[in-house]
Chain A
């Protein structure tokens, strides 16, 4: 289907994209993903491109508070949404508690996966507080938002870390969950 090299003109749309509380009037190519818009257009390079196929979580950001993979999200669909990236987690100069915990627990090596881990953990903890179960939550059981290690590992399985810093990532998240 892709054999015909496509020479048709790009389709663009005017929109307003709200990121970390700032509204950006932009013209987007309909093909643009949120990840590319953030990194290439808005110079918000916190979200990382790992796989570009939803498989690694490095590009995780929050859309209206829910974690999503920005590499599979079309920017053009987000005109009325609020995006939060890792750049927007801190409260002014005070780091988010998860950021502090990641530093204290040495929860990273190269740091490439870290922005995605942080945004994912913020969304994940909100899900747990809302009582969302995971597949390891006991049958019909209610969710203990303090989350044991098995719960944290399962709920964070969409975020891979090539450096294998998982032990400390789990410890850092556990500290904030409790």
Chain B
């Protein structure tokens, strides 16, 4: 590992200034992804600016029911917060189905959003990879891509975004508060993460040096009826193969409104807007749920080894919706 300077500023402006002042500097949250990638030789920052002091670790419940979550809040604390469990069950479930108790105690909200793909080539510096080593090619396309994308990928990169939490935040339309060189700004999800196009090395719309300071969840009363359902290769402590975050607003026998986002299918946490449009106003019935899933999946272009994800997404979406409306 390359030697690095360690700093731990107490506020956001100092953190921003320290990052800008040192070429090759990176922010450090809980370190569960960054320290790992440094150990693997994928990343080699010259300075680490630890932002666990500069970023708030507080969770505030807003009068309208929305939440303001400091970027330094640990995943475990967010999942255990009573307001998260009661008003946004999909978010608590997404967090709790990610990683392990130990990792959730360490991982921060901002770090979770910005964690890098688990594509095996990305994590191996001896291999080509357009995302980690731009211009070297994408061996996953013809190689190991069983767990990679079926939607939104490009010729340059077919990786998936690995975060469970981000899928729930995408469904909830979370607003990310950022401190940038020119001052504070916000980004609404989906919209933080970007599709790879011909620049797969850029995972998000953030500029280098931008600091995430908070994530705000707008009030969404019907999110109390929401769920995160994750399929993985073993019962616990494994990254998602396919997941869905869904919330429904039922009115009489129809779905008045809904939110659906998918994980494990695309380079970004994927908001299923076509499925949502199909479902709005539809009768509460398995056939509607199936049509909604199919509407989203018309855009799917599975690779040689991951065609199974198409059927899996369909089944998981239908199952999650059935669970939510209480039909078995």
* A2 and B41 form a contact (CB under 8 A): yes
* B31 and A2 form a contact (CB under 8 A): no
Would you call B287 an interface residue if the criterion is a C-beta within 8 Å of the partner chain's C-beta atoms?
no
Chain A residues positioned under 8 Å from B44 (CB to CB): 1-2, 6
Q: A123 to B41, alpha carbons, bound, how many Å?
A: 31
Chain B residues positioned under 8 Å from A132 (CB to CB): 76, 79-80
* B35 and A11 form a contact (CB under 8 A): no
Would you call A9 an interface residue if the criterion is a C-beta within 8 Å of the partner chain's C-beta atoms?
yes
* B101 and A6 form a contact (CB under 8 A): no
* A124 and B101 form a contact (CB under 8 A): yes
Chain A residues positioned under 8 Å from B2 (CB to CB): 2, 6, 8
Would you call B125 an interface residue if the criterion is a C-beta within 8 Å of the partner chain's C-beta atoms?
yes
Residue among A1, A30, A139, A158 making CB contact with B102, cutoff 8 Å = A158
* A30 and B96 form a contact (CB under 8 A): no
Interface residues of A in 41-90 (CB under 8 A from B): 52-54, 57, 60, 66-69, 72-74, 76-77
Min Cβ gap B35→A in Å is 5
Residue among A33, A69, A76, A127 making CB contact with B106, cutoff 8 Å = A69
* B102 and A54 form a contact (CB under 8 A): yes
**Closest Cβ neighbor of A8 among chain B residues:** B3
**Closest Cβ neighbor of B125 among chain A residues:** A2
* B36 and A72 form a contact (CB under 8 A): yes
* B43 and A133 form a contact (CB under 8 A): no
Would you call B105 an interface residue if the criterion is a C-beta within 8 Å of the partner chain's C-beta atoms?
yes
* A54 and B36 form a contact (CB under 8 A): yes
Min Cβ gap A130→B in Å is 7
**Closest Cβ neighbor of A1 among chain B residues:** B44
Q: A140 to B83, alpha carbons, bound, how many Å?
A: 11
- Residue of B6, B36, B97, B235 contacting most chain A CB atoms (<10 Å): B6
Q: A85 to B229, alpha carbons, bound, how many Å?
A: 35
Interface residues of A in 141-178 (CB under 8 A from B): 153-159
Given A54-B103, A133-B92, is A72 in contact with B3 using a C-beta cutoff of 8 Å? no
Would you call B89 an interface residue if the criterion is a C-beta within 8 Å of the partner chain's C-beta atoms?
yes
Residue among B1, B96, B102 making CB contact with A67, cutoff 8 Å = B102
Contact count A vs B, C-beta below 8 Å: 126
**Closest Cβ neighbor of B4 among chain A residues:** A30
Given A2-B125, A77-B8, is A135 in contact with B93 using a C-beta cutoff of 8 Å? yes
Q: A66 to B235, alpha carbons, bound, how many Å?
A: 24
* B236 and A154 form a contact (CB under 8 A): yes
* B79 and A77 form a contact (CB under 8 A): no
Given A30-B5, A130-B80, is A66 in contact with B236 using a C-beta cutoff of 8 Å? no
Chain A residues positioned under 8 Å from B146 (CB to CB): none
Would you call B185 an interface residue if the criterion is a C-beta within 8 Å of the partner chain's C-beta atoms?
no
Would you call B237 an interface residue if the criterion is a C-beta within 8 Å of the partner chain's C-beta atoms?
yes
Chain B residues positioned under 8 Å from A9 (CB to CB): 3
Interface residues of B in 1-23 (CB under 8 A from A): 1-6, 8
Chain B residues positioned under 8 Å from A11 (CB to CB): 3-6
Would you call B42 an interface residue if the criterion is a C-beta within 8 Å of the partner chain's C-beta atoms?
yes
* A33 and B96 form a contact (CB under 8 A): no
* A72 and B6 form a contact (CB under 8 A): no
Chain B residues positioned under 8 Å from A133 (CB to CB): 79-80, 85, 92, 96
Min Cβ gap B320→A in Å is 13
* B101 and A155 form a contact (CB under 8 A): yes
A-B contact pairs, 26 of them (CB 8 A): A1-B125, A1-B132, A2-B2, A2-B41, A2-B125, A9-B3, A10-B3, A54-B102, A57-B100, A60-B102, A66-B76, A67-B101, A67-B102, A67-B105, A69-B32, A72-B106, A73-B106, A74-B6, A77-B8, A77-B28, A127-B76, A133-B85, A135-B236, A157-B100, A157-B101, A158-B101
- Taking A123-B101, A124-B101, A158-B99 as known contacts, 16 extra A-B pairs with beta carbons closer than 8 A to each other, sorted by chain A number, are A1-B41, A3-B125, A6-B3, A6-B44, A8-B3, A30-B3, A53-B39, A54-B32, A69-B100, A72-B31, A73-B106, A133-B79, A135-B93, A153-B236, A157-B236, A158-B101
Show the binding face of A for B, using Cβ within 8 Å. Answer: 1-3, 6, 8-11, 13, 29-31, 33, 52-54, 57, 60, 66-69, 72-74, 76-77, 120, 123-124, 127, 130-135, 139-140, 153-159
Show the binding face of B for A, using Cβ within 8 Å. Answer: 1-6, 8, 28, 31-32, 35-36, 39, 41-44, 48, 50, 52, 76, 79-80, 85-86, 89, 92-93, 96-97, 99-103, 105-106, 125, 132-133, 235-237
